[in-house]
Amino acid sequence: MAAVTPEVLTSTHVEKMKKKKLPKRYWEETEKTDQSQRRPEEEQGKAGQNQNKSTVKEKSLKRKNGESLEKKDPFPGEAPIPQKQLQKFQRGKKCKVPAGARERLKEAIAISEAMSEHAQKQAARYDLLLPEDAGFLEGDEDEDTNTISQADIADAVDITSGSKYFNLHLSQFGPYRLDYSRTGRNLLVGGKKGHVACIDWQTKDLKCEMNVMETVNDVNSLCTLRSASRWLHTEAMFAVAQKRWLYIYDSKGVELHCVKKFNDVLRMQFLPYHFLLATASATGFLQYLDVSIGKEVAAICTKMGRLDVMAQNPHNAVIHLGHPNGTVSLWSPNQKESLVKMLCHRGAVRSLAVDKTGTYMVTSGLDRKLKVYDIRAFKPLHSCFLPAGASCLSLSQRGLLSAATGEIVQVYQNVLGSNPVSKPYMAHRLRGQIWGLAYCPFEDVLGIGHGEGFTSMIVPGAGEPNFDALDTNPYRSHKQRQEWEVKALLEKVQPELIGLDPGQLSKVDQASFEQRHKEQIEALGFDPLAKDKFKPRTKKKGRSSAGAIEKRKRKVAHEDQRDEIRQSVQERTEREKELKEKSNEKKLGNKSTLDRFRK
Amino acid sequence: MKVKVLCRNPDDYVRETTRDIQRVPRNYDPTLHPFEVPREYTRALNATKLERVFAKPFVASLDGHRDGISCITKHAKSLSTIISGACDGEVKVWNLPRQECLRTVQAHEGFVRGICSRFCGTSFFTVGDDKTIKQWNWEAPGYGVREEPINTILGKAVFTGIDHHQREGTFVTCGQTVDIWDEQRSSPIRSFSWGVDSFSCVRYNPVETELLASCASDRSVVLYDTRESAPLRKVIMQLRSNTLCWNPMEAYYFTCANEDYNLYTYDIRHLDVPVTVHMDHVSAVLDVDYSPTGREFVSASFDKTIRIFPKDKGHSREVYHTKRMQHVICVRWSADNKYVLSGSDEMNIRLWKANASEKLGLLSAREKAATHYNKKLIEKFQHHPQVRRIARHRHLPGDILKQKRELREMREAQRRKEQNVRKHSKPGSVPLLTEKEKHVVAVVE
């Protein structure tokens, strides 16, 4: 603070000069305002002290008078929690006590409700303790944020953050695809002409680099697995979709597996909680590889042709595929048909992205439109026309959308929601055609793979500021990683649990008895509740003739329905009787002898 | 332009020295934790499996008796001491943590029928087939001194059971009559009988201390008040009850172990229908004892198993058996609620964990938290078919399994028969009886 104040003071005395404004640090203004605010406060404080003195005197007087010494709490009770924060941690609706419930059930419901409310409050309170705030970028008056260049931003921010804007000039093996590891520490780039490199991008430490001497279609950094051998102290493993087959390398670049069952793979997605690698191939197959046991879980023939647009829904692990006919289809490994098919574009779908809450899907197509869908209701929210069309889309953790339009990367804010897309939040021009876009998790960084190499771009406000160390910890030690790995493998979610609603398992199965019975018959192949048919015993001395058997069968036929039949027959006869009586009365009534006197 | 970019200081996230614990910043935002329910379900499934993996209930076997164990009693004050009586009249005092016999007394000729500890923990009483009641000191006699009872009372008939009052110097025995004795006198203060010739068990109520309950050989359970001259009331069942035990927490409930393979929990205020019928044994139930918390009880059966029932459930939550354990005669739940003791025909006393998969010894805070978490998870997902299947599975010896199936078939046949009888008789003449109502014949005031 001491370093800043003199500058502020001088600036107030110096006359106005036409000079390019130095980019200000974001804290400068706040400090200033703080100071200006502080003065009256101090004055107030002095006054307050005076007041305090007087109150002390009064109190001492009161004490002499023998009044109670108890101080009143000015803020009684617990600190209130904002409703918005509470809402964030709401899980499901409150359980209603059914009418006529037993006392024990009522008690159990009350207890569980109280406990969940307590947990919700605790979690909401913890939000105040989160250490980091999200980044932001604000322009001056009549300054568009999208005109601010990356160099300016890098100059304005601190050195560490400034170093996050960098270029890797790799023009030889061009255009590059990329993937960040889940913790955001490692970056994997794969050039179309076979160049694959694994980099710790913050320290710019190259972990491995090689040329696979083949076309590379896609790269994916898998999560960790059992280390192949002991000297392997780094853990990452990555998959590379090469010209024919899928290869898995470790972080040193040693080829671990060549999976020949997975051929002509174009795109890959890794489902981290299921340990599944989903691949989409040129032959139209969607395949799932369980990387923890190395087995193919499912192979689905989509019959949709070449699959080169793929995204995963991080909320429910459903795979979204975009097709040349403008449809987007949703897949789970448990079903041979798609879960949902949506017609999204008039032309082919070029790119897809799904946000982390699983609520919104953003698509771009050859019709040069960018559309936002609500995928809970499968409804379009809004669409906009991009003159160049977007070839790649990516959504950040905090909901910034980046779109690659030709050689320019545009970043949009507040896309997810009902308000339509306006001008971009940021833009950055590159030299080559853009091939890959990915946000780095937990960092304000957008990685761009293009024809001339790789560019790391600073996008303030993109990353989630506070990570959960038990889930993904960028600063984890070797030991912590090992422990996490064991835990993660232990709670690997089975592929059978992938569906549109991941919370379905906690809901009450309200399928009717008939439905469940039908399912049971389907599963077993026979009806377990069916009564076996009556089989009359064979008797001797000619009593088992066909006629006799038939007679005996008749005796027990429809035994279970006999009561009902008897009752219904009785009712019917009674009704008929009544009707008859009524009609008789009517007839008699018509023919009364006194009728002739009536007019 | 105002700009802020996320920039974390690693010092805030990495521990300072290797001696510190690792820093684990948390963020409970639900969007950072996808697949909450499937992951929790997986954890619950794992917890259930681990619970079954760690279910090793057998702790120790105390051997040393030369005949079948007929009765066991806990020390009134000390957790680590128990006494057992055998069919050859021998009484042994055991130290549980060291699993050794402290003292052996040849107390009776013939069976030791009952043992009870005095409430103050200074002496204990035994009754035997030789028609005597003997009072023994808990302290072992000095070296070279003969084991002598403090007091011996010669009765007229064989005693089959004994129980001591909770606070006063009186005790009760049963045999041909139910007798109430003063410790200072050699003849009973009061004798109760209600037209039967023998009782098998008598127990003081732990809360309403003047109340008594006994099992009689005429298939009845009789209630007494020691302040009155005549018995209070009795409930007659279809078969004889062997023993009974009061619930120590809700002392208006008692549970009796019946010859018809079932246990019945009665409320003494409504004796006409049992509160719960506990069925699972496949042979006569010989003994029953409540846990000190009053939430569960353990039963010993002639079918060579012991089972643990929740007090309000009709079926057991646990069954213990070993290859070598024969007919279990007596069973006790330890006063710290952690162990179950069973004495069986083949001269051994076995020590079991009350909770089969519990880890013994001191637990660290993390271990405790983990066990609590796992318990809660299992409870949350208990109705899911996979979890339920694993949690319910118990291995049973082949012959018990066979008997179980046989019993089920017999019950099914009886049910069918009853249905047919009802179908072919006048409506209302064969009433539908619930399982609870079936076993009570009459309540006599």
Residue A558 has pLDDT above 90, yes or no: no
- Nearest Cα residue in chain B from A318: B35
Q: What is the pLDDT of residue A164?
A: 94
- Nearest Cα residue in chain A from B31: A357
Helix axes A4-13 and A26-65, enclosed angle (nearest 10): 110
Q: What is the pLDDT of residue A38?
A: 45
What pLDDT band is residue A229 in, cutting at 50, 70 and 90? very low
Which of A158, A357, A470 is nearest residue B7 as measured by Cβ atoms?
A158
The candidate with the shortest Cα–Cα distance to B140, out of B186, B180, B115, B105, is B105
How far is Cα A219 from Cα A190, in angstroms, rounded to an integer? 6
DSSP state of B416: H
The identity of residue A550, as a single letter, is: E
Q: What is the mean pLDDT of residues B267-295?
A: 96
Which of B5, B23, B31 is nearest residue A135 as measured by Cβ atoms?
B5
Q: What is the mean pLDDT of residues B288-311?
A: 96
Q: What is the pLDDT of residue A91?
A: 86
Q: Please, what is the average pLDDT of chain B?
A: 94
Contact B5/A460, CB-based, under 8 Å? Answer: yes
Element holding A300 (H helix, E strand): strand A295-301
How far is Cα B127 from Cα B91, in angstroms, rounded to an integer? 11
- Nearest Cα residue in chain A from B3: A137
Residue A10 has pLDDT above 60, yes or no: no
Residue B35 has pLDDT above 70, yes or no: yes
How far is Cα A40 from Cα A21, in angstroms, rounded to an integer? 30
B-chain residues within 8 Å CB-CB of A133? Answer: 4
B-chain residues within 8 Å CB-CB of A474? Answer: 13
What pLDDT band is residue A3 in, cutting at 50, 70 and 90? very low
Q: What is the pLDDT of residue A227?
A: 29
B residues 371-390 closer than 8 Å to A (CB)? 384
What pLDDT band is residue A21 in, cutting at 50, 70 and 90? low
A-chain residues within 8 Å CB-CB of B5? Answer: 135, 153, 157-158, 161, 164, 444, 458, 460
Nearest CA of chain A to the CA of B277: how many Å? Answer: 20
Q: What is the pLDDT of residue A25?
A: 66
What pLDDT band is residue A24 in, cutting at 50, 70 and 90? low
Size of interface A-B (CB pairs under 8 A): 150
Length of chain A equals 599
What pLDDT band is residue A35 in, cutting at 50, 70 and 90? very low
A-chain residues within 8 Å CB-CB of B26? Answer: 126, 468-470
A465 to A121, A201, A202, A370: CA distances (angstroms): 22, 18, 16, 28
What pLDDT band is residue A97 in, cutting at 50, 70 and 90? confident
- Nearest Cα residue in chain B from A476: B14
A133 to A127, A157, A460: CA distances (angstroms): 11, 15, 11
Token couple for B403: 């008997």
Q: What is the pLDDT of residues B415-444, one digit of tens each?
A: 999 999 998 999 889 999 999 999 999 999
Residue A36 has pLDDT above 90, yes or no: no
Nearest CA of chain A to the CA of B7: how many Å? Answer: 6
Q: Please, what is the average pLDDT of chain A?
A: 84
Which of A464, A475, A479 is nearest residue B10 as measured by Cβ atoms?
A475
Residue with tokens 């203004």: A29
What pLDDT band is residue A13 in, cutting at 50, 70 and 90? very low
A-chain residues within 8 Å CB-CB of B7? Answer: 157-158, 160-161
Q: What is the pLDDT of residues B138-171, one digit of tens each?
A: 998 988 888 899 999 999 999 999 999 999 999 9
Q: What is the pLDDT of residues A115-156, one digit of tens each?
A: 999 999 999 999 888 989 999 999 988 888 999 999 999 999
CB A319, CB A331: distance < 8 Å: yes
Q: What is the CA radius of gyration of chain A?
A: 36
Element holding A340 (H helix, E strand): strand A340-343
Q: What is the mean pLDDT of residues A454-460?
A: 95
Q: What is the pLDDT of residues A458-479, one digit of tens each?
A: 999 999 999 999 999 999 888 8
Is the ipTM here above 0.90?
no
Residue A44 has pLDDT above 90, yes or no: no
Which of B5, B12, B23 is nearest residue A157 as measured by Cβ atoms?
B5
What pLDDT band is residue A310 in, cutting at 50, 70 and 90? very high
Q: What is the mean pLDDT of residues B112-124?
A: 94
Q: What is the pLDDT of residue A95?
A: 82
The identity of residue B269, as a single letter, is: R
- Nearest Cα residue in chain A from B11: A475
Q: What is the pLDDT of residues B181-217, one digit of tens each?
A: 999 999 999 999 988 779 999 999 999 999 999 999 9
